[in-house]
Each structure stands twice: as structure tokens, then as C-alpha cells.
Amino acid sequence: MLDTTAVFKAYDIRGTVPDQLDSDLCRAIGAAFAAFVRRAEPETGEVIIGRDMRPSGVELSAAFVEGVQSQGLSVVTIGLASTDLVYFASGHLDLPGVIFTASHNPAGYNGIKACLSSARPIGVDTGLADIEAMVHDPPAPADTLGGARSLDLLDEFVQHVRTFVDITALAPLKVVADTANGMGGLVVPAAFHGLPIDLEVMYAELDGTFPNHPADPIQPENQRDLQERVLEVGADVGLAFDGDADRVFVVDERAEPLSGSTITAMVADRMLRDAPGATIIHNLICSKTVGEVVTEAGGTALRSRVGHSYIKAMMAESGALFAGEHSGHYYFRDNFRADSGLIAAMVVLELVSTSGQALSELRIPYERYWASGERNSRVDDAAAVIERVAATFDSGDVDRLDGLTVTFDDWWFNLRPSNTEPLLRLNLEAADEASGRSRVAEVEALMVERT
């Protein structure tokens, strides 16, 4: 009996190899995914398959391919790829796709991110639950096995990424990119090749054992090598990519990190210059600066739940031009509503190039409040803790769009459970640091387990 309970998440499949995710399970998931595609898109005859640099991806993706072919669908293998390259391939070829990746998780993990044609998201409410059910009730094999072909789409992807900026406006900036032995080592040098950017790539070798540091740049300790190198070489901008290179984190010339909220506000402002009045989406843990900047630029700001499948669906419904998450995911309507750290990085470099300012100056109007950053606490009963906190702060403006958000005149916080770990995540923003730290202490005191 295949066990799926540990690996099927809200918007992807992920687990440790081989105890939670192995070839047998991936073969069954491949067959279930193909059967789901046949129902959702009856005219589709092929599925795109990519993988990141994790050693386990070779065997797991091969098993998945067997499962897909058992249902009569053929596969288009694109080999080693970043997640945003797979999304591009799905949009470019108008085919469903999957990538084997565990993103920022440690080397012992692997997983699957999947989409329908044109990079349309598949989450728990839009297909993952159906796929999981079919793993336990397998579809009958087709009379004829599907075939296979290979494609190299890196050049087409690079040209697509460059369409989001005026490459003639790029200045000869010094840029350091830490790709953490992840897929950024493939796509970042290709994207910058031939541009007037002096690029240095740290840890460019594709190595899914992550010998230098974890490919999880949202953790401050994993940005330290980049920060030191930015100062050593006098770089204008530092870029840190996660393992599958769909997220980017930015540091300025002083080696000071910019939050995902700051980048969201900056990119939104830039894009609204060319599309006044457009809709911009930000997830609900982004700084309220984002909504203010969008409104001031003449756009319409919408709040979303955290998670790519929710944001992409909301973009499709609203026609939004751009969306950003505090976690470093940035989505573009003209990128098939998919996220791309590389495109966001390009936009930031264009802004620095054209502003006549250092990034440390350029960022100032986009940072108006003190933010706690995401603070994680392990709890035994997340629901009980959330209700206890909600009861204490019921005089604020309360909403349950994603976990618990409570807003007061001069501060707000969101408390939500992790989709992948037994954690509660607290994000809090206030007018100044002193009041913000006091509020953090107040909320976290309520989160301590009581006996």
C-alpha cells in the first residue's frame, strides 16, 4: 500500500527520499497525473518533464516518466531545469509539465511541482487531491505506451526573460549571484551572457548535496557568503537564488538584504509605469507598503493567500499584471502568470541602472514600517494557539483569509500554520521598531503551550 499522506501538500508533492518518496510512488504518481491530464485536457498528448540537480531526481523522474507513458501519453524531457524554466516550457509549448525538485529543502528531500498547459497551477483544490486519490485507485494502463522526445529550451527561456526589461538601459553594474549549487547555476549565467553586467556567480556547480550552504536564502545565515562577497568586490547588487531558482533574494551594495515585500513594491511600481491602472496582487504577509505604493501609482492592490496555486488562480480571475510574495516569489502575467526569480532580478537591475541611485537609496521609499520577518514557533496544537491569540486581540480588524490576520491602526500581524512543518509562522509589522518588538513579545507570549 503506497503511503501518500506525508508527501501531498497544499500546492506540491514533497518528502524525504526514499522513506517517503521512492520510485514506486513516483511511478504511481506519474500514472495518476497522466490520467488527470487526460480528464482535464483530453486533447493533450504530451507532458513536459524537468528535474533539478538533486541526485535522486534521475531515478525518481525516470519512474514518473514510466507512469505517464503507461497511460498512453508521451513525454517531452527538458533535462536539468529551474522551476521557472519548466513553467516557461509549459506556456511556450502549451503543455502540462512537472519538475522534480524540493526547492529549498535539504539534500535528503525531493518532490514534484506540477501544472496544466500554459503553466496553470495544480494545487490541492485544483487537481492534487484527485491525483492522490488515483494513486490509491490506479487507472488501467493504456493499450499503447506513450513515446518520448527531448528538447533544450534554455535559449528560448533566456530570450523570454529579457523581454521584461529594456536591456539597452542596463548599466555596467557589478553583480554577485549566489546560486547555492542549485539550478541558478544553469539559468543565471545564460540570462546575463552578453549583457553589460559584470556577473560573478558563487557556487555555480550543480550539486544537489549542497556542499557550501543550504539553498534556502530566506534564512539570513545562508546569505552571509553573498553579503561578504558583495562588500569584498564592491558589487552594486547581490542576488541569492534558492535550489530550483524560482525565488530570488536581493542585497544592496552595503550588503543589507531587501525583503520580499520591498522587491514586490519596487517591481510593482516599475510595471505600473507601463500599465497604469493595472491590478497588482500581494500576499497577506507582505508589508502594507505594497498596497500603498500600488495605490499611489494608480494601480489596484489585491490581497491573496500565501502560495503559488492561490496567487495564480487569483491572477487569472482578476487579470492582474504582477503579484509578489514576501517569501521571494514574483509572478508575471506575461510569464503565463508563473513566478520567476530571474525576471524579478532583471527588473531590479534595470531600476538600479536607470535611477542614478545606489540600491541602498533606491529602496528607501519602499520601506515605511518596521517588520518582524517571519518568526517560526513549534507548537503541538496550532489551531488551539491561533484561537487563543484571536480571542485576545478580538478588538482589532480580524480576518481568516489565511490563518489569522489582525489589524490595528498602527500595527498588524498574521499567524498561520506551515503547510510542510509543525510550525506556526508569525509576521508582524508596526510603525517603529520599539513598538514592533513589544508587540512581537506580546503575541509570542500567548503562543507558549499551556498545560
Closest residue by Cα to residue 209 from 109, 113, 79: 109
Closest residue by Cα to residue 248 from 352, 343, 347, 341: 341
Residue 375 has pLDDT above 70, yes or no: yes
pLDDT at 450: 52
Cα–Cα distances in angstroms (integers) from residue 67 to residues 109, 121, 133, in the given order: 21, 21, 15
Hey, what's the torsion of the CAs at 334, 338, 344, 346, to 10 degrees? -60
**How far is 103 from 80, CA to CA, in rounded Å?**
14
Instruction: Look up residue 190 and give its three cell numbers.
Output: 545564460
Hey, what's the torsion of the CAs at 286, 237, 229, 240, to 10 degrees? 40
pLDDT at 418: 83
Active site residues: 103
Strand-pair category, 404-407 with 397-399: antiparallel
pLDDT at 310: 84
> What are the residues whose beta carbons fall under 8 Å from the beta carbon of 346, sequence distance 6 or more?
161, 162, 164, 165, 191
**How far is 238 from 219, CA to CA, in rounded Å?**
15
| CATH C-level class of 161-258 | alpha beta
Instruction: Look up residue 410 and give its three cell numbers.
Output: 498602527
Instruction: Look up residue 107 and give its three cell numbers.
Output: 539534500
- The DSSP secondary structure of 185-196, one letter per residue, reads HHHHHHHHTTSS
Hey, what's the torsion of the CAs at 129, 4, 245, 108, to 10 degrees? 170
pLDDT tens column, 219-243: 999 999 999 999 999 999 999 999 9
**How far is 20 from 56, CA to CA, in rounded Å?**
13
DSSP symbol at 421 = S
pLDDT tens column, 23-58: 999 999 999 999 999 999 999 999 999 999 999 999
pLDDT at 421: 72
pLDDT at 137: 96
Are 55 and 85 contacting, i.e. CB atoms less than 8 angstroms apart?
no
Instruction: Look up residue 78 and give its three cell numbers.
Output: 527538458
The DSSP H or E segment spanning 206 is none
For 271: left if phi > 0, alpha if psi spans -120 to 50, otherwise beta; the answer is alpha
pLDDT at 292: 98
Backbone angles phi, psi at 420, to 5 degrees: -120, -15
DSSP symbol at 166 = -
**How far is 62 from 29, CA to CA, in rounded Å?**
12
Question: Which fold does the domain 13-152 belong to in CATH?
Answer: Alpha-D-Glucose-1,6-Bisphosphate; Chain A, domain 3 (3.40.120)
Closest residue by Cα to residue 352 from 186, 164, 171: 171
Q: How many CB atoms lie within 10 A of CB 140?
A: 9
**How far is 423 from 429, CA to CA, in rounded Å?**
20
One of 3.30.300.30, 3.30.360.10, 3.40.50.300, 3.30.310.50 is the CATH number of 370-447, namely 3.30.310.50
- The residue extents of the domains of the chain are 13-152, 161-258, 370-447
Q: How many CB atoms lie within 10 A of CB 432?
A: 11
> What are the residues whose beta carbons fall under 8 Å from the beta carbon of 145, sequence distance 6 or more?
69, 70, 72
**The model's pTM:** 0.94
Backbone angles phi, psi at 250, to 5 degrees: -120, 140
pLDDT at 206: 98
pLDDT band at 451 (very low <50, low <70, confident <90, very high): very low
Residue with cell 552594486: 236
pLDDT tens column, 308-351: 778 988 999 999 999 999 889 999 999 999 999 999 999 999 99
Instruction: Look up residue 222 and give its three cell numbers.
Output: 545562508
Domains 161-258 and 370-447 share a fold: no
Where does 52-183 have alpha helices with state H? 56-70, 83-93, 129-136, 154-162
3-state secondary structure of 170: coil
